[in-house]
Structure 1
Amino acid sequence: MAQPLEKVDRRDAKLALAHLFVAFTALALGGFAGLLQTLVRSGKFELPAGISYYTILTTHGVLLGLVLTTFFIIGFQFAAVSRTTGALSDGSRRTGWIGFWLMTIGTAMSAFFILTGKASVLYTFYAPLQAHAGFYIGLALVVVGSWVSGFAMFAHYARWRKTHRGQVSPLLAFMSVTNMVLWLVCSLGVAATVVFQLIPWSLGLTDRVNVLLSRTLFWYFGHPLVYFWLLPAYMVWYAVIPKVIGGKMFSDSLARLAFILFLLFSIPVGFHHQLLEPGISPFWKYVQVVLTFMVIIPSLMTAFAMFATFESYGRSQGATGLFGWLRKLPWSDARFFAPFVGMLFFIPAGTGGIINASHQLNQVVHNTIWVTGHFHLTVATTVVLTFFGASYWLIPHLTGRVMTKAMNRLAIIQTIVWAVGMTFMSGSMHFAGLLGAPRRSAFSTYSNSPQALEWIPYQIAQAVGGTILFIGIILILVIVINLAFFAPKGETEFPVAEAAAPYERAALALENWKLWIGLVVALILIAYTVPIIDIIQNAPPGSKGYKLW
C-alpha cells in the first residue's frame, strides 16, 4: 500500500500562500518599474507625466529587493517548517498572521509614499536623502512584522525539540531557523537607523543626522541581506533538488555546517561596501574584508555538495566518463532546470562578488553600473530562478493542484527567456561599468559626458535585456496564476530529500544555538564596537540633508 503523501497543514498552507501572493504582486509592479528604468537609461525613452526616474528606481529596488524576497522567503519557510516538523500550533499560526499583516500594511505605506514622489530615496534610502516619515514608518513595520514571523518559527522549532530530545531536527527546519536568526540579527542595524535616526529627522524632531553612522548601520544590514536571500535558495538546492532528480542528499552535516558558517561570517562584513568612504579606519576595513572572504568557504562547500549529488545520481543511472552524468539529469523538468540555471549564473556572480570585496579591484568598479549587474546576477538570477523553480511544486502543493505538461513546458521556456534577458542586461552592465558608466543615474544626468557615447550601445543592450526579462515576468505570472487557481485538482509532493548517510552525529552538535549565537555576537562586537564609537565621537557637524518632497 502506498504511503500517504506528507503535506503542509491546510491552515499553514493559507498562511504561506498569502505571503507568496504578495511576493508575486511585488514582482509584477517592481518588474514593470525595472523595464521603464532600462528604457530611460537607453536614452530612447522619456517618462510621461513628469514621473521621476528616481521614483521608478526606488519602486523597483524596494519592491523586488525587499518585498518580493522577504515575503517569498517567509512564506516558503513557514511551509517548510510545517512540512517537516508538523502543523503549527494555533498560537504560532496566529503570530505568523500578525507578522504577515504588519508586513503588508508597512509595504502598502512605503509604496504609497514612493509612488506619490515623496520617497525617491533609492533602494538604500540612507542620508542625506530624506523621505516622508510615512515611508520610514512603513519600512519599520515590515521589519517588525518579519521579526514576529521569525518568533513564530522559533517557538514552533523549540516546541519540536522539546518533544524530540536527543534527535536531530529536520534539515529544512534547521535551515529556516538559521536564516531567521541571521535576519533578526542583521536587521537590527536597519531598524536602529530608521527608528532612531531617520524617523525623528524626517519628522523634524532633529535637523541633523550622522550620515556615516547611518550608512554603516545600513550596510551592517545590507550585506547579510544578500545571504538572507541566498540561504533559502541553498535550502532548495540542498534539501529539495536531490529528491526532484531522484537521488539523495550528499551530506546532511555538511549542509548544516555550511549554514552555520554563513551565519557566522555574513554579518560583520558591511565595511566592504564602504571601502572608499572616509571616517572608517583602514584597519577595520581590512578586518571586515578578511571576514567577507571567509564566506567563500561555505559557498565552495555548497558547490561541491551539489555537483557531488548530481554526479552520484548520474553514476547510479549508469553514466560513465568524466561528464556522462550530466546527460542523466532531468533537463525537461522545470523544477530542476530553473534552479540549475540559477546555479550556473552564480559562478560569474560569485566571481564578481570577490572583485567587489577586494580593496584594489573595487576601486575600478565602485559606484559604477558593474555593481548593479552583479546584483542582478545574484538576487535577480540565482535566487529568483531558484524561487521560480520552487514555486512549480510549492504552489500546487499548497493549493491542491498539479502542474500540467503544458505549464512545465512554459516554465522551461520562461527559464530560457530569463537567462537570455539577464545575459544581455547584466552582461552589458558589467561591460559598461568597466568603462565607468555610473549606477543610479538617469541618462539625462550624464548625456553630455565625453564618455557617454561609449556607454550608449551597452545601455541599449540593457534595454533589450530588460524587455526580454519583462516578457519572462509575464510568463511566470501566467504560470503562478494557473498553478494557484486553474490547474487540475490533485496531489503534488513537497519534495524533501533523504541524506545518503541517514544519521550523522555531527548534525546534533551543530544545533548548539547558545554557542553559535554567542560567536556571532562576539564577531559583531569585534568588528563594529571600536569603529562605531569612533564614528560617534568624531562625527563632523551634521547635515540637514536634502528633502525630495
Structure 2
Amino acid sequence: MMKTASRLKVDQRDAKLVMAHFYVAFISLAIGGMAGLLQVLVRSGLFELPAGIGYYQLLTLHGVVLALVLTTYFIMGFQIAAVSRTSGTLTAVQRKLGWTGFIIMTIGTAMAAIMILLNEASVLYTFYAPLQAHAVFYLGLAFVIVGSWFGSAVILLKYRQWRKENNKAVSPLLTFMAVVNSIMWIVATIGVAATVLLQLLPWSLGLVETINVGVSRTLFWYFGHPLVYFWLLPAYMAWYVIIPKIIGAKIFSDSLARFSFILFLLFSIPVGFHHQLMEPGIDATWKFLQVVLTFIVIIPSLMTAFSLFATFEGYGRSQGAKGLFGWLKKLPWKDARFVVPFIGMVAFIPGGAGGIINASNQMNQVVHNTIWVTGHFHLTVATTVLLTFFGISYWLVPHLTGRILTKEMNNLAITQGVLWFVGMTIMSGAMHAAGLLGAPRRSSFSEYGGSSVAADWIPYQVAQGIGGSILFLSIILMLYIFINLAFFSPKGEQDFPVGEAGHEAEKTPKVFENWKIWIGITVALILFAYTIPFIDLIQNAPPGSKGYKLW
C-alpha cells in the first residue's frame, strides 16, 4: 500500500514558494512585453526610441527576460506545485533548497537586468561572442543557472523520497514528467554554464584575450535546443494530465505519455548543430547526423497530438457526439482553462511545421537569419507555451492563494486568449512573409528603411506593429487577471485538476523508471554526436576573436 497519497491541495508552505516564482515570472512578462511592443513599433518605423535607449538594448531585454527569466521561473514554480500535489508536501530540507534556488536565481536575474538596462550587455538573447557584455551580466546568468539546479534538485529529491516510501512503485505521472524535464534541464545547462564560466566570464574580465567562438556557439546550442523542450514539456504536462480532467475525460494512455517524455530526454539534447547548419568549422556529416536526430523528436510530438485528440474525441463520443467532427461541439468552449491552452495546441501545428523547415538543410538556407525564424519562435514559445502557461495560471494561482476563478475572470481570460491569437496571427504571419522576402532577423527600421529592396518589407513591418500592439493589450489583460486571482478574487477552494488513466488502460511498465538505462543512453548519444566535432573545433580553431559591443 502506498504510504504517501497525492494531496487534493498544495500545502500552503509549498504554495508560498511557488507563488514567489510566479510573481517574478509575471513581472518579467510586464517588462518583456513592453520591450517587445517598443521593438515592433521601432521596426515598423512608427516610433523612435527616446532618451538614448538602444534598439538592441530592447531586443536583448525582450529576449532574455521573456525567453529565459519568465519561462524558467514559471516552469520551476509549476513543477514544484505539481510534485507537491501528486507526491506529497515537500520536506523542510526540500523547501529550504527551493527557497535557496529562488534567491540565487533572483540575484542573478537582477544582476543581468541591471547590466542590460545600463546598456552594458546589449548582446541579444543568444549573447554570441564576439559580442561582449559586462562581466556582471555573465555572472548573473551563471547564478540563474545554478539557482535553477537547486529547484530541479527539489523535484528529484521528492521523487526519490516517494519511490523509497512506496517500494519503487510507478510514480505519479505529473511527478514523473517533472523529473524528466529536470534531468534534461540539468544535462543541457551544463553546456551554457561551461561557456559562461570557462569562456565568456574570464574573457569579459580580461583574464584571457581571445576565446574559441566556434566552441562557444556550439556549447550554447547544445543548451539552446533542449531549452525549447524545457519550455514545451511543462505545456505537455498540462495537455496530457490536466486538460483531460478539466474536460471530464480520462488520460488516453499513461504509458504513451511516459514514453513520449523519455524520447524527448533522449533526442532533444544531441541536436544543437541544426541551429548551426550555416556555420563553418563543423563537418557536414555531423550536421546531417544531428538533423536526423532532430527529426526523430517529431515522433513524440506526433504521439502527443494523437493522444490529445484521441482523448478529445473519446470524451465527445461519450457525450453522444455523432459524425466525423461532432465531438468538437461537446468540448467545454466556455471554460478558459481549456480554451486558452487549446489555442496554444492549434498554434503548434504551423509552429511545428516551421520547425521542420528550420531543421532541414536546404530549406534552412532560405530562411536562415531572416525574421521567419523570429516568427517561428513566436508561434512556439510565445503562443503554444505561453498560452498554456496562462491557462495553467487561471486555476493554479487561485488554488495556491485560496481563491476562486470567477465567471467574470473566466470570460476575461477567454478574451485574453482570443486577443493573443489575433495579435500573434497578424504579427507572426507578417514575420514569416517578410522572412521569405529576405527581411533580416534582428535589424531595426533605420538600418534598412532607405533600401529599395526593403520597400517590399515595409507593409509586413507595419503589420508586425499592429499585431504587437494587440498582443500588448492581451498582456495587460493577463496581468490584470493574475493580480485579481492572486489578491482580490473571492476566497474559496479552486481545484488542482489531475487526470487519471481509464480502467481499461494497460499497466505502465516499470522500465520507464530505470534511469540507469535512459540517462546512460542520453549520455551515449551526446558523446557520439559531439565528441569528434568538439575535437575538430578545438584542433582547427581559427585565431581567437576579440570582443566588441553592439550599440
TM-score (norm. length: structure 2): 0.98
**Which of 274, 277, 280 is equivalent to 1:275?**
277
Corresponding position of 2:52: 50
**Which of 477, 480, 487 is equivalent to 1:478?**
480
Say whether the 8 Å CA contact 2:344–2:388 is kept in structure 1: yes
Name the SS for the 2:457 alignment partner.
helix
- 1: CA distance, partners of 2:336 / 2:440: 36
Trace 1:258-273 onto structure 2 (pairs within 5 A): 258-273=260-275
Name the SS for the 1:510 alignment partner.
helix
Say whether the 8 Å CA contact 1:5–1:493 is kept in structure 2: no
- Runs of 5+ unmatched residues, structure 2: none
Say whether the 8 Å CA contact 1:334–1:408 is kept in structure 2: yes
- 1: CA distance, partners of 2:549 / 2:6: 60
**Which of 222, 225, 242 is equivalent to 1:223?**
225
Trace 1:9-88 onto structure 2 (pairs within 5 A): 9-88=11-90
CA distance change for structure 1 residues 4 and 187 in 2, over 3 Å: closer, same or farther?
closer
For residues 186-222 of structure 1, the C-alpha deviation after alignment (integer angstroms, 9 at most, x for no partner) is 0110000000000000000011011111000000000
Say whether the 8 Å CA contact 2:252–2:307 is kept in structure 1: yes
1:7 CA drift (Å) = 0.4
CA RMSD of aligned residues (A): 1.2
Say whether the 8 Å CA contact 2:123–2:549 is kept in structure 1: no
Corresponding position of 1:448: 450
Percent sequence identity is 70
For residues 379-433 of structure 1, the C-alpha deviation after alignment (integer angstroms, 9 at most, x for no partner) is 0000000000000110000000001100000001000000000000000000000
Say whether the 8 Å CA contact 1:252–1:499 is kept in structure 2: yes
Trace 1:225-264 onto structure 2 (pairs within 5 A): 225-264=227-266
Corresponding position of 1:100: 102
Corresponding position of 1:89: 91
1:166 CA drift (Å) = 3.9
1:4 CA drift (Å) = 12
Corresponding position of 1:179: 181
CA distance change for structure 1 residues 502 and 137 in 2, over 3 Å: closer, same or farther?
farther
Give the residue type in structure 2 aligned to 1:366: H
For residues 107-165 of structure 1, the C-alpha deviation after alignment (integer angstroms, 9 at most, x for no partner) is 00000000110000000001000000000000000000000111111111101101111
Say whether the 8 Å CA contact 1:119–1:135 is kept in structure 2: yes
Say whether the 8 Å CA contact 2:112–2:136 is kept in structure 1: yes
Say whether the 8 Å CA contact 2:7–2:88 is kept in structure 1: no
Corresponding position of 1:326: 328
Trace 1:278-297 onto structure 2 (pairs within 5 A): 278-297=280-299
For residues 474-521 of structure 1, the C-alpha deviation after alignment (integer angstroms, 9 at most, x for no partner) is 000000000000000000100000112476434422011110000000
- 1: CA distance, partners of 2:286 / 2:342: 37
**Which of 353, 356, 362 is equivalent to 2:355?**
353
- 2: CA distance, partners of 1:33 / 1:456: 21
Say whether the 8 Å CA contact 1:121–1:131 is kept in structure 2: yes
1:44 CA drift (Å) = 2.0
Name the SS for the 2:144 alignment partner.
helix
Q: Give the number of equivalent residue pairs.
A: 547
Name the SS for the 1:546 alignment partner.
coil
Name the SS for the 1:167 alignment partner.
coil
Say whether the 8 Å CA contact 1:397–1:491 is kept in structure 2: yes
- 1: CA distance, partners of 2:404 / 2:59: 37
Name the SS for the 2:216 alignment partner.
helix
Corresponding position of 1:436: 438
Trace 1:380-419 onto structure 2 (pairs within 5 A): 380-419=382-421
Corresponding position of 2:429: 427
Corresponding position of 2:152: 150
Corresponding position of 1:547: 549
Corresponding position of 2:469: 467
Name the SS for the 2:24 alignment partner.
helix
CA distance change for structure 1 residues 161 and 269 in 2, over 3 Å: closer, same or farther?
same
For residues 58-91 of structure 1, the C-alpha deviation after alignment (integer angstroms, 9 at most, x for no partner) is 0000000000000000000000000000000100
**Which of 506, 514, 525 is equivalent to 1:523?**
525
